[in-house]
Structure 1
Amino acid sequence: MSGKVTQQQINQVLWEAADTFRGKIDSSTYKDYILTMLFIKYLSDAYKEHLEEYTKRYDGDEQRIQRALSRERFVLDEHSTFDYLYSNRNDAEIGQIINKALAHLEDENTAKLRGVFRNIDFNSEAIFGKTKERNAMLRALLEDFNKLTLKPSVVGNEDVIGDAYQFMIERFASDAGKKGGEFYTPTMASELLARLVKPQENDRIYDPTCGSGSLLIKVANQVPSKKVAVYGQERNGATHSLALMNMYLHGIDDAKIEWGDTLSNPLHLEDGKLMKFQAIVANPPFSLDKWAMGFAGEGNTDSKFKMEASLDPHRRFEWGVPPASRGDMAFVQHMLYSLAENGRMATILPHGVLFRGSSEAKIRKQIIDMNLLDAVIGLPEGLFYGTGIPACILVMKKDRKRKDILFIDASGEEHYEKGKNQNKLREQDLAKIVETFENYVTEDKYSYVATLEEIKENDYNLNIPRYVDTFEEEEPVDMSQVKENIKNIKQELAEVEEQMEKYLEELGL
């Protein structure tokens, strides 16, 4: 490719690379390999260009060239570059060669890349099939990527690579149906959460179920200087790897993304206690079944296991243990317990958390009585991958000065754009939600500021229609107009019948 490489061209090559796997492997699996290859290609091309620059600058003086290269963001050597892999594309052991190159790359960059590729196996028979098929697929993958030049001078703005990564993750999410929602929150929903928590410089930002990290990146981007500390945790190994690569491709080199189950094994700790954050955002799995299995201990996988508050060393479930088949409130309690004194959090949840009974009602009452709930926002249906159900956002704050709670119903048809497979929030819809939230006002058929008394009268039920009336009055019926219409219809009918008689007569029937 000559001249600057465009976003379009990169996206095109990536999408073609995906064709190699289509119909052979589930897209929620093969995305890991394509995105990893994009990362490797980018690192390699940057390395190659810098090597050329230093060779020229230091007139071929090996020692000085190597010293300069060792100061780069990432250190590569010949055996971990894309070109090396491409030159071996016909090797019978190509899967193993790629794995070794990735392990080598990790070793050379342990501070940044330790463990990043451990969950991504290019030699997996379970995924790619027997040697012959596997080699054919990997060769095609390397050949597709070889068409792409990602040298910094050609790509220009670094965001291009990050955006290509985002583009692919989003395409895969829409492709992967039910599984898509597990690793990706649609762009505008992420943007909305980011604006609601309004991160400030030097804040610690946290996402306890961070998927591929796109939501965290949106929040970090709210701060112009990007001077924020980014923390996340993700349970799925391959998705955790994608999140780390995603951070690097967006220029966030010091993100702390951990791999493990946030509920039974939270890994962001300070002095053994849960770390505290100023801004927390999340799109946890909706109504996660068996959310507490990680607390069961060895050999306790039978259905008899019952979660109890005492099993959690961090004491997050003292307000109530959520039902075994619905983990929504477990994530909410984890986030509240991780909130700093001046912290704000916004999380996407199914509407059930607003009104379901038993232990969830108990937890809800406690949250409201402790004056932590700031707003309840109803979203349109069909916004999220893998589920058509409408969701809501709960905004919570520590140290709230007011006692009221704001309800916003942004689910009406005029508040989003209908799509073929997926509905979308537009900029104007976002702006309206954020403005209403910041002004904290009642607006007819859209929002309502409820007093604590009203919420108690409703038995702590937060179902939005109880507070925001979006019922449209029908136009009053004009009886004289109706009478006139009936008269006209009768007349037309008489004329048609008369015409009919004539036809039948002519036909002699």
Structure 2
Amino acid sequence: MTREQERDELHRAIWQIANDLRGSVDGWDFKSYVLGILFYRFISENLQTHINKAEWETGNTDFDYAKLSDEEAEFGRKDTVNEKGFYILPSELFFNIQINAEKNSNLNVDLHRIFKDIESSANGTDSEDDLKGLFDDVDVNSNKLGGTVEQRNTRLGKILKAIAGLRLGDYQENNIDAFGDAYEYLMTMYASNAGKSGGEFFTPQEVSELLAEITVVGKTSVNKVYDPACGSGSLLLKFAKVLGKENVRQGFYGQEVNITTYNLCRINMFLHDINFEKFNIGHGDTLMDPMHWDDEPFDAIVSNPPYSIKWEGDANPLLINDPRFSPAGVLAPKSKADLAFTMHMLSWLATSGTAAIVEFPGVLYRGGAEQKIRKYLIDNNYVDAVIQLPPDLFFGTTIATCIIVLKKSKKDNATLFIDASAEFTRGGNKNKLSDTQRKKILNAFVAREGVDHFAKLVDNKEIEANDYNIAVSSYIEQQNTSVATDIIMLNQHIGEIVARQTELRKAIDAIVNDLENVEV
């Protein structure tokens, strides 16, 4: 079986679990249970492997942490928490709980206690903030799982058994990041089926990869990467794929306002084997309460912030003096915070860094305060490229979004426009960027040269003359794919059709006339 076939098999098995076990629970709500239990299994195996390897290296090859008593295991708690960020006693490991789960009438109570024990194992340590509240959305006492304790425990037992049955170790041996891949696949499927309620928190993987690739062109490593509206973390984690997680030297930084998605993002980091000291994810409103003042500037920034949401804007007199927004001399409209996110990212971007931001298309051409912010960006030569994406790529919306690429250190006074609106393939109920299409966009970005009907390098003076409109369609003429028609031949063909139609009508009339004259 090939690697791709193995991955497809894993995906089918996981989605089968997710569908079979959720019952009447909405899929987007039920994801917290599947992902939470998957995470519980991952950290149990991860911790057990970590401790076992340390003992085996000393020559104690028969050692198995899972078989120790809890009392015996306490000896290693402090050192292990310092290294891994958490601790799980042997009796609380996933497989030791799962073995008797379906017969355990106190399963919900035990799981609740175990989850709290895992979180509290980090109290007073550097990893406390990374573990705090991590299992809050895995509510084992929720009526969503069943109206009675017995019903809840039955469903919990089935979830544990199903997750235990996934042969994730086999995939790991074949260099497939099984847990991380399982998470990404589940989030994609849940977002696809959840509509706007779920899709707004997840960026399609191929778009995430393109954004990460754009920000690290010509680089083999970066210090810090950042996403101010990080959702479930899919954008940040693409740097681990594009560069290798060891080449993001100082770690992954992000902030998310939605508490459930904030928890999912931290889980996602762990599932991709990003240890606690390599990520810093904050919870809160980035525009009003940014949490990484002490960590900026960032070498690479990627983001898909919420489209045209409301914010305080000029209703808050303090914001015009905020160093993130004040350089433009104007604030983004209260009803449209898009360019407030853009200014925030520009402010926190390193001098040699790159930011790639998915934007609502209106920010490219709307007037008023947004036009003044575009004027600031163009006049100061911060806009490196504008890329028009195809429609219907994102979950929860069919609009054709765009990417604005920002740089503080450019070699020219021009802006590259790329029209990728036709670069898609239909996959299921959404459009997708294929690998070939993604690479075509990236290659055009790197080349920074004109390509008929696809890419154009425009002097910023031309953009100024066009009232700082940076819509791609204003600078790139779409190719005319219509076929020229010979009007004489067309008229001749129409005449032939009309003549043939007349003959058919005469024949039908003759048949009807014969039938009417038949004597009964």
1:333 aligns with 2:343: yes
Per-residue CA distance 1:362-391 (angstroms, 9 max, x = gap): 111111111100111111110000001110
Q: CA deviation at 1:325?
A: 2.1
Q: Answer whether contact 2:320 2:326 (CA < 8 A) is retained.
A: no
* Aligned match of 1:280: 301
What is the rounded CA distance, in whole Å, between the counterparts of 2:160 and 2:43 in structure 1? Answer: 15
Q: 1:503 to 1:35 in 2, by over 3 A?
A: same
Q: CA deviation at 1:104?
A: 1.3
What is the rounded CA distance, in whole Å, between the counterparts of 1:362 and 1:235 in structure 2? Answer: 28
Pairwise mapping of residues 167-178 of structure 1 onto structure 2 (< 5 A)? 167-178=185-196
Larger CA deviation: 181-190 vs 277-286: 181-190
Q: For 1:489, which of 475, 491, 497 is the aligned residue?
A: 497
**Aligned to 2:247, what secondary structure does the other structure show?**
coil
* Aligned match of 1:435: 443
**Aligned to 2:492, what secondary structure does the other structure show?**
helix
Pairwise mapping of residues 40-439 of structure 1 onto structure 2 (< 5 A)? 40-48=40-48, 54=55, 57=60, 71=80, 73=84, 75-86=87-98, 87=100, 89-109=102-122, 110-112=125-127, 113-115=130-132, 117=134, 119-125=136-142, 127-128=144-145, 130-132=147-149, 133-151=151-169, 157=175, 159-198=177-216, 200-224=220-244, 226-228=246-248, 229-253=251-275, 254-270=278-294, 275-288=296-309, 290-292=310-312, 306-310=315-319, 313-319=322-328, 320-412=330-422, 415-439=423-447
Q: Answer whether contact 1:16 1:144 (CA < 8 A) is retained.
A: no
Q: 1:334 to 1:493 in 2, by over 3 A?
A: same
Larger CA deviation: 359-368 vs 22-31: 22-31
What is the rounded CA distance, in whole Å, between the counterparts of 1:396 and 1:480 in structure 2? Answer: 53
Per-residue CA distance 1:390-414 (angstroms, 9 max, x = gap): 10000110111211111111112xx
What is the rounded CA distance, in whole Å, between the counterparts of 2:77 and 2:16 in structure 1? Answer: 36
Q: Answer whether contact 2:320 2:331 (CA < 8 A) is retained.
A: no
**Aligned to 1:28, what secondary structure does the other structure show?**
helix
1:25 aligns with 2:38: no
What is the rounded CA distance, in whole Å, between the counterparts of 2:79 and 2:6 in structure 1? Answer: 30
The size of the alignment, in residue pairs, is 488
Larger CA deviation: 218-227 vs 499-508: 499-508
**Aligned to 1:233, what secondary structure does the other structure show?**
strand
Q: CA deviation at 1:19?
A: 2.9
Q: 1:463 to 1:311 in 2, by over 3 A?
A: closer
Q: 1:50 to 1:89 in 2, by over 3 A?
A: farther
Q: CA deviation at 1:153?
A: 9.3
What is the rounded CA distance, in whole Å, between the counterparts of 1:258 and 1:196 in structure 2? Answer: 25
Larger CA deviation: 336-345 vs 322-331: 322-331
| Identity fraction in percent | 33
What is the rounded CA distance, in whole Å, between the counterparts of 2:339 and 2:352 in structure 1? Answer: 22
Q: CA deviation at 1:148?
A: 3.4
Q: CA deviation at 1:178?
A: 0.8
Q: Answer whether contact 1:416 1:426 (CA < 8 A) is retained.
A: yes
Larger CA deviation: 331-340 vs 448-457: 448-457
Q: Answer whether contact 2:36 2:135 (CA < 8 A) is retained.
A: no
Q: 1:77 to 1:499 in 2, by over 3 A?
A: same
TM-score normalised over the length of structure 2: 0.84
Runs of 5+ consecutive residues of structure 2 not aligned to the other structure: none
What is the rounded CA distance, in whole Å, between the counterparts of 1:146 and 1:64 in structure 2? Answer: 23
Q: Answer whether contact 1:79 1:101 (CA < 8 A) is retained.
A: no
Q: CA deviation at 1:69?
A: 11
Q: 1:325 to 1:23 in 2, by over 3 A?
A: farther
Residue identity opposite 1:262 in structure 2 = T
TM-score normalised over the length of structure 1: 0.86
Q: 1:85 to 1:182 in 2, by over 3 A?
A: farther
* Aligned match of 1:39: 39
Q: 1:498 to 1:183 in 2, by over 3 A?
A: closer
Per-residue CA distance 1:298-320 (angstroms, 9 max, x = gap): xxxxxxx9234537654425522
**Aligned to 2:452, what secondary structure does the other structure show?**
coil
Q: Which has the higher helix share?
A: 2
Q: CA deviation at 1:38?
A: 0.6
1:462 aligns with 2:470: yes
* Aligned match of 1:300: none
**Aligned to 2:425, what secondary structure does the other structure show?**
coil
Runs of 5+ consecutive residues of structure 1 not aligned to the other structure: 296-304
Q: 1:478 to 1:315 in 2, by over 3 A?
A: closer
Q: 1:231 to 1:259 in 2, by over 3 A?
A: same
Residue identity opposite 2:325 in structure 1 = R
Q: Answer whether contact 1:235 1:261 (CA < 8 A) is retained.
A: yes
Q: Answer whether contact 2:134 2:267 (CA < 8 A) is retained.
A: no
Per-residue CA distance 1:446-492 (angstroms, 9 max, x = gap): 12221222212211111221111105164443243234324423442
Q: CA deviation at 1:238?
A: 2.3
What is the rounded CA distance, in whole Å, between the counterparts of 1:490 and 1:145 in structure 2? Answer: 68
**Aligned to 1:450, what secondary structure does the other structure show?**
strand
What is the rounded CA distance, in whole Å, between the counterparts of 1:8 and 1:330 in structure 2? Answer: 41
What is the rounded CA distance, in whole Å, between the counterparts of 1:488 and 1:134 in structure 2? Answer: 73
What is the rounded CA distance, in whole Å, between the counterparts of 2:73 and 2:481 in structure 1? Answer: 78
